[in-house]
Amino acid sequence: MMLKRIDTISYANAFRGISPVWKCGFAGCLFILSYAGAPPVQAAVFGWMTLWTLLYARVPGKLYWLVYGGSLLFFAASLPALLLEFGKNAGTGVPLSSGWIIGTAGPWTVYVTGESLSRTAGLFMRVSACLACLQFVLFTTPLLEILQVMKKIRMPQIVIELTLIMYRFIFLLADTAHAMRTAQRCRGGQNGFAGGLRDTALLIVHLFGRTMQRYRGLTYGLTSRGFTERIELAPYEAAPVPPRYKAEGVTGIFMLTAAQIWLKWRGFA
């Protein structure tokens, strides 16, 4: 399961011993710069954060690009709305003055304009840069440390507790689904296309009930350990940041900010 691999990598990367506050703050600054910056700055952030994650933190490249590609599926699903334009039939199939005809249906023409291509390319660059910042935190910082950072910045307690419970619930759901699927295959299920659809439907029907049984057991476990309607996290322990990474991070943010200001001043952003 990919979630377990990500969780394992977050505990076994080269940045494991570096301060989570610094890692989250570093990625947060670059995320803001990626969201508000010009495409050249976003491209630089994407390349730089990918370098930090793959080369410095030594995260497996195959897993990194797999998560990146899976996240881009949401962007791909929005491409028709971003690219395609509809209008009255404007010709006989030759390129429009501001775009190219894709097809016609009755009096309507579906076409792509240069403006929509430019808008989609800019959005793709922004999404990629923001994803690189998020994946840096995802692969280098365990969830419990992220929750400690959230608590340190005064995030509401209910948000922290819901995040922790939902994270645990995802593992319960995945383990239950895997066990039920394995049991089906051992009994000759998941055989053929029609059988696979039928058995998958049965799995989905019974999955929620089985998961809720395990979740109820988790609730009983919390109660038996003195749960008082407030989940306490382990105390935050400060960790060092190597001077090299601190200097490179500060210098890089300063240079990217300066580049963004220059592009804005020159009218490119």
**61 neighbors 69 (Cβ within 8 angstroms):** no
The pLDDT of residue 229: 67
Indicate the pLDDT class of residue 94, thresholds 50, 70 and 90.
very low
Per residue in 175-209, pLDDT tens?
777 776 676 667 666 666 666 666 667 666 666 77
Q: What is d(CA 95, CA 109) in angstroms, rounded to the nearest whole number?
A: 12
Phi-psi region of 234 (alpha: psi -120 to 50; beta: other; left: phi over 0): beta
Q: Which of 35-39, 164-168, 172-176 has the highest mean pLDDT?
A: 35-39
Q: Per-residue pLDDT for 32 more than 90?
A: yes
The token duo for 208 is 């929620």
**146 neighbors 233 (Cβ within 8 angstroms):** no
pTM: 0.80
Per residue in 247-267, pLDDT tens?
999 999 999 999 999 988 887
The pLDDT of residue 93: 47
- Choice among 131-135, 163-167, 225-229, 230-234 with the minimum mean pLDDT: 225-229
The token duo for 239 is 């960790």
Q: Per-residue pLDDT for 92 more than 50?
A: no
Domain extents for the chain?
1-82+115-141+240-269, 143-238
Estimate to the nearest angstrom the gap between the alpha carbon of 41 and the chain centroid: 20
Chain-wide mean pLDDT for the chain? 82
Q: Which residue has the higher pLDDT, 158 or 103?
A: 158
The token duo for 74 is 């949401």
CA angle 37, 43, 48 (to 5 degrees): 105
Q: Per-residue pLDDT for 60 more than 60?
A: yes
Nearest in space to 122 (alpha carbons), one of 13, 53, 45, 35: 35
H or E element, residue 108: strand 108-113
The pLDDT of residue 245: 93
Give DSSP secondary structure letters for 221-249.
HHHHTT--S-PPPPPP------HHHHHHH
Q: What is the mean pLDDT of residues 39-47?
A: 94
